[in-house]
Structure 1
Amino acid sequence: MKIFLKLLLTAVAVVILANILPGIVVNNYVTAVIVAVVISLLNMFVRPLLVFFTLPATIVTLGLFLFVINAIIILLAGKLVAGFVVSGFFSALLFSVLLSIFRSLLFSLLKEEKSK
């Protein structure tokens, strides 16, 4: 149940960011949910491979290359999902950074208090 709630919160973040940022277009709310699912799947399967193969570049740049990997994931989601348009690399980079921030803020609302 929590997974579906996280996907819906990610879709809400995608819609909000698409309305704020130029260069990012989401046609409707169903497309936003599909984008959330595709980004989750890409982060699960493709991102570890990209991190592994670009490990030397990540080490040399002290981890800053991970931002580039996140932007590549967003660009790939833009190619895979009809109705989700990302105009360029820098739009994808800004979108990925802000999406991470929004997701962490929204997911912090889901945290359960642990009883001692």
Structure 2
Amino acid sequence: MIGRLGVLNRTIVQLHRNAPEVALDDDALKRIDAHLQQAYDIHAMTDEADARLFAEQAFRCPGIHDRTQLVQRLARARSGEISYVGACADIDIGSTSPTERNLQRKDAVT
């Protein structure tokens, strides 16, 4: 976790900006960090913006990465064909439920 502390802090800022209504208690921070670890270790993400987007999506919408639409995007990103942020830019995950609104964050690159 210490190695990801800066990324975790920037993910929290991003999440607070995109979903200010979300409570960020100790449990939430642990879950966000676990999602970041998953992004880096399981999905081999090397770009911070990709990992932050992945973590935000996973935190706000548990199980979202099991959906075919995102499994395909993750595969494209893992192959190096495109960044994960780029792979998610053309999908509207928000159309499936109000809690998933705007998860294809183009601002995740900031």
Q: Normalising by structure 2, what TM-score?
A: 0.41
Of the two, which has the highest radius of gyration? 1
Write 1 or 2 for the structure with the bigger share of helix: 1
Write 1 or 2 for the structure with the bigger share of strand: 1
Q: Normalising by structure 1, what TM-score?
A: 0.40
